[in-house]
């Protein structure tokens, strides 16, 4: 627990970073829910004034940081086992960025009872890095290639490449049913809406933002299809929403999937969403990084292959 109010001057390296992300680094071990509460109450101030979480920092900004303690009931520090798991998950690293094979089940940011996420854990693993932040996101249940920028300049480069469509992102997914065509291009606008329980969901809507996904059929196993999904845009839950839209939801998808099909695939040992970010190509060299399909997903495919062979 900090004993008194601190004042921190923002270094030029962090100019342009969101305040909430900066605070997650500066207030190590403090849950993001508490950080947002401090901002709402005005206990964190920039240059003497109240600010919103999305405020973009400027070099030389004076941050007032109140005494804080770790939130009760939240796991605020990654265990040694989690840190070791992430260290082993590094697929590529240089002076500018890290590409991880993100494990399923780990959120990219802390919150909702968890005081840390992958970015906070990586800051523990790389304390010598003055800047470390996510270049993009993956859902908590999704595994695979995740880029963490080690420089603010690199973060801007990756964001610009994503906006320009210069990043090639490929995923592997297991879809319910048989995808009849070898290649299925889906162009359907997606709009964020409130679903049951108040959670955010993406729905196909004429009022939504343009979204394009191309599904490439790889294997048909019983009444399931393994596909490679090629993203041409980066909307939230895009692959999941588009797969459901064409009548082939992803196995294990509790939000967009089919309950009966999910029960079936659970019997084959699937305990999570069958979605894996299998490869990523960046205009950084260029650089292509591939993440092998995790063992739990390979095991599900293996069981379906055995069942198919016995029929």
Angle between helical axes of 118-125 and 19-26 (0-180°, round to 10):
50
Model confidence pLDDT, tens digit, residues 264-284: 999 999 999 999 999 999 999
Q: Are 237 and 256 in contact (CB under 8 A)?
A: yes
The answer to whether the predicted template modeling score (pTM) of the entire model surpasses 0.95 is no
* CATH 3.10.290.10 segments of the chain: 6-65
Class of domain 6-65: alpha beta
CA–CA distances in Å: residue 218 to residues 18, 21, 261, 266:
40, 39, 20, 22
* CATH 3.30.2350.10 given to domain 165-310: yes
Q: Which residues are catalytic?
A: 139
Model confidence pLDDT, tens digit, residues 66-117: 887 644 444 467 788 989 999 999 999 999 999 999 999 988 876 545 557 8
* CATH 3.30.2350.10 given to domain 80-158: yes
* CATH 3.30.2350.10 segments of the chain: 80-158, 165-310
Q: Are 31 and 74 in contact (CB under 8 A)?
A: yes
Q: Where are the beta strands (DSSP E) in 177-223?
A: 183-187, 190-194, 200-204, 212-221
CA–CA distances in Å: residue 39 to residues 43, 44, 46, 55, 77:
6, 5, 10, 11, 22
Which letter does DSSP use for residue 115 in this model?
Answer: S
CA distance 293 to 240: 18
């Amino acid at each position: 627990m900090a004993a008194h109010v601190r004042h921190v001057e923002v270094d030029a390296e962090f100019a342009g970073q969101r305040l909430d992300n900066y605070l997650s680094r500066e207030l190590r071990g403090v849950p993001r829910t508490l950080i947002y509460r401090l901002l709402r109450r005005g206990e964190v101030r920039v240059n003497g004034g109240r600010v919103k979480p999305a405020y973009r920092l400027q070099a030389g900004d004076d941050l007032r940081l109140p005494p804080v303690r770790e939130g009760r009931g939240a796991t605020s520090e990654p265990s040694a086992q989690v840190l070791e798991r992430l260290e082993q998950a590094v697929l590529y690293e240089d002076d500018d960025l890290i590409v991880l094979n993100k494990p399923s089940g780990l959120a990219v940011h802390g919150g909702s009872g968890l005081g840390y996420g992958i970015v906070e854990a990586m800051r523990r693993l790389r304390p010598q890095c003055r800047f470390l932040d996510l270049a993009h996101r993956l859902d908590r249940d999704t595994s695979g290639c995740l880029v963490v920028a080690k420089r603010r300049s690199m973060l801007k480069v990756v964001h610009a490449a994503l906006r320009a469509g210069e990043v090639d992102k490929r995923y592997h997914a297991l879809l319910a049913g048989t995808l009849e065509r070898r290649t299925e291009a889906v162009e359907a606008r997606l709009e964020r809406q409130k679903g049951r329980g108040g959670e955010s969901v993406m729905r196909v809507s004429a009022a939504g933002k343009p979204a394009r996904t191309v599904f490439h059929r790889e294997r048909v196993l019983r009444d399931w299809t393994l596909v490679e999904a090629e993203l041409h845009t980066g909307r939230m839950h895009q692959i999941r929403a588009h797969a459901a839209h064409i009548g082939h939801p992803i196995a294990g998808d509790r939000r967009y999937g089919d309950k009966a099909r999910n029960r079936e695939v659970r019997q084959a040992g699937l305990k999570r969403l069958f979605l894996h970010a299998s490869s990523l190509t960046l205009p950084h060299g260029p650089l292509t990084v591939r993440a092998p399909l995790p063992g739990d997903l390979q095991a599900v495919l293996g069981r379906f292959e055995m069942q198919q062979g016995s029929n």
